[in-house]
Amino acid sequence: MALAALAGLLLVGGVWLVAGGLQRRVPRGRVGTGGSYAARWARWTRRPPGSRGRRRDVVLAASLLAGTGVAAATGWLIALPLGPAVALGLPYLLTVPRPRDVPLLEALDRWVRSLSATLATGKSITDALRISRRTSPPLLADEVDTLVARLNNRWDTREALLRMADALDSPDADAVLAALVLASHRGTNGASVTLSALADSLQATLQGRRAIEVERSKPYVVVRQVTVISLGTLLVALAVSPDFFAAYRSGLGQLVLSVLLLAYLGSLLLMRRKAQQRERPRILVGAER
């Protein structure tokens, strides 16, 4: 009971800190203290900005409350850290890592086809880039706006394109921008045909990446099903036959249960790391290109 009371006090303090972090008002802090409580909380916990961060804090507070209730009712102190770990960790570990190259390839394909159609009308590379600003995909809108602004400020076309390549930081974007750099030096003769062929190559690469993503998502579907079935079975068994878990109420039993849960979460983390795509070398790198 003393431990349950201590856990309740800690929960109240945690909820108070979370409520302080959710406040939009930034209190004045001393110089050198590292900012307000909200800023320190966001920095220490890597809190996402905006509504995502507020939603995460609400989930954290609710999971702490549920874990404290389970610990007070059953005597399982492991429920205190287990609640936030399950509420925040499982959705992250059971979600397929989103690749950046698939949406980027889609945006590059649209942008290159737009440039190719504009160049076919006899426009120069610089004029085609300015015109593409109005129809650029949302993922490339900021970079294209910056590119056109640099061109309007009399930047060299080659240097402006290379700065855009550094901003995108992608091997696929490097191939497109390298072709545009060559076209800006050699003129527009054959540039439209080259960009059309490059767009076809991007489309073929995109189809292959999509097929890979479908195959990568299949193990996650199986793992999610196994996890949901296992958790559901354990909850039903706990409700029907609580004595079955009597061995885990002791200190040694909770230690063994902690090791088993950490091993399972570690296996999910390893699977996620294996599923992440490796960084590919770029063509245009830094100032010494």
Question: 125 or 46, which is more confident?
Answer: 125
Count Cα atoms within 13 angstroms, Cβ side, for 88: 21
| pLDDT value of position 28 | 43
Would you state the pLDDT for residue 26? 44
The rounded mean pLDDT for the chain is 79
Q: What is the mean pLDDT of residues 141-158?
A: 90
Q: Identify whether the C-beta of residue 5 lies closer than 8 Å to the C-beta of residue 68.
A: no
Q: Which helix (DSSP H) or strand (DSSP E) does residue 76 occupy? A: none
Rounded to the nearest 5°, which phi and psi values hold at 212? -65, -40
Task: Give the mean model confidence (pLDDT) for residues 24-30.
Answer: 45
11-85-70 Cα angle (round to 5): 50
pLDDT mean over 87-94: 80
> Which residues, including other chains, have CB under 8 Å from residue 39's CB and lie 6 or more apart?
26
Asked if residue 203 has pLDDT above 60, the reply is: yes
The per-residue pLDDT for 36 is 63
Q: How far apart are CA 111 and CA 147, in angstroms?
A: 13
Q: What is the pLDDT of residue 149?
A: 92
With beta carbons less than 8 A apart as the criterion, state whether 195 and 116 touch: yes
What average pLDDT score do residues 268-284 get? Answer: 81
Question: To which residue do tokens 């063994």 refer?
Answer: 256
Helix (H) or strand (E) holding 15: helix 2-22
Q: What pLDDT does 146 receive?
A: 92
pLDDT at 67: 78
For residue 1, name the pLDDT band (cuts at 50, 70, 90): low
pLDDT of residue 30: 41
CA distances from 129 to 48, 106, 178, 204 (A): 35, 18, 14, 24
Q: How many other β-carbons are positioned within 10 Å of the β-carbon of residue 275?
A: 14
pLDDT top residue among 155 and 246: 155
Q: How far apart are CA 136 and CA 124, in angstroms?
A: 17
pLDDT at residue 22, as a whole number: 61
Over residues 127-140, the mean pLDDT reads 88
Please report which confidence band the pLDDT of residue 19 belongs to, taking 50, 70 and 90 as the band edges. Answer: low
pLDDT at residue 38 tops 70: no
